[in-house]
A and B are shown apart, each in its own frame.
Chain A
Amino acid sequence: QQPVQSPQAVILREGEDAVINCSSSKALYSVHWYRQKHGEAPVFLMILLKGGEQKGHEKISASFNEKKQQSSLYLTASQLSYSGTYFCGTGSPNAGNNRKLIWGLGTSLAVNP
């Protein structure tokens, strides 16, 4: 039920690109992406909704493949400030009145100079 994130960890040099994936075994209505820096609260990045609507950060892009039940977060020309742990949260359309996000375990991203 919990979405699976991959990779678990990635190390980049400043300016390199990275892709973080989030896969679910359940049909999805929405995928949320958040970034958390060490010792801080998660901060919103993106929401991707079934049907193609997206909300969020201008400099970060993401995709949502409804048929494959997965989402990918694309970090291009990475900056030192991109370092942190990235979490996806997924919402299922079959939850009825019990709607809540189920969160992945996170992907740790370190960007080095």
Chain B
Amino acid sequence: NAGVTQTPKFQVLKTGQSMTLQCAQDMNHNSMYWYRQDPGMGLRLIYYSASEGTTDKGEVPNGYNVSRLNKREFSLRLESAAPSQTSVYFCASSLSGVYSYEQYFGPGTRLTVT
């Protein structure tokens, strides 16, 4: 099993450009999450999907959109990148029930917006 995979691993964008971060899991998990991690800020939830066909906003959703393409895949889109979106982005997945089950994290995407 590959677990949670993310592409790309590194990306540099110019202000105003758009891009999509891809995430896929092969553990048959229902729930998937997108986090951003900034130095000294810990993990902040951007969006999550409790199950296929549903998405909900997290703490910091502004400037992002998501698509739960199917049970395996959950993508994060930046429509018009800003320097404030420079961060490390982690995708994670878990069985149903965010409180009761461990989250498995992907390796992360390191995004720089200039």
Q: Are A99 and B99 in contact (CB under 8 A)?
A: yes
Number of A-B contacts (CB under 8 A): 55
User: Shortest Cβ distance from A57 into chain B, in angstroms?
Assistant: 10
Q: Are B106 and A100 in contact (CB under 8 A)?
A: no
* Chain A, 42-57, CB within 8 A of any chain B CB: 42-44, 47, 49, 55-56
Q: With contacts A42-B90, A47-B102, A99-B98 known, is A89 near B107, CB below 8 A? A: no
Confirm or deny: B100 has a beta carbon within 8 angstroms of a beta carbon on chain A: yes
Per-residue 0/1 for B9-37: is the Cβ within 8 Å of any A Cβ (1 yes, 0 no)?
Answer: 00000000000000000000000000000
- Stretch from B43-51, B65-73, B74-82 at the A interface: B43-51
User: Shortest Cβ distance from A106 into chain B, in angstroms?
Assistant: 6
What residues of B have a CB within 8 angstroms of the CB of A43 in the complex?
Answer: 105
Confirm or deny: A84 has a beta carbon within 8 angstroms of a beta carbon on chain B: no
Please pick, from A2, A29, A87, A105, the residue contacting B99 in the complex, using a CB distance under 8 A: A29
What residues of B have a CB within 8 angstroms of the CB of A40 in the complex?
Answer: 107-108
Prevailing SS type, chain B contact patch: loop
Per-residue 0/1 for A98-111: is the Cβ within 8 Å of any B Cβ (1 yes, 0 no)?
Answer: 11111111100000
Q: Are B42 and A104 in contact (CB under 8 A)?
A: yes
Q: Are A42 and B43 in contact (CB under 8 A)?
A: yes
Q: Are B45 and A101 in contact (CB under 8 A)?
A: yes
Contacts A32-B102, A98-B56, A101-B99 supplied; 13 other A-B pairs, CB < 8 Å:
A29-B99, A34-B103, A41-B90, A41-B105, A41-B108, A43-B105, A44-B102, A47-B102, A55-B102, A56-B102, A91-B99, A100-B48, A100-B58
Give the B-binding residues of A (Cβ under 8 A): 2, 29-30, 32, 34, 40-44, 47, 49, 55-56, 87, 89, 91, 98-106
Q: Please name 18 pairs of A and B residues whose Cβ atoms are closer than 8 Å in the assembled complex, sorted by A.
A: A32-B103, A41-B106, A41-B107, A41-B108, A42-B43, A42-B90, A44-B103, A47-B100, A49-B100, A55-B102, A87-B43, A89-B43, A91-B98, A99-B99, A100-B48, A102-B59, A104-B42, A106-B42
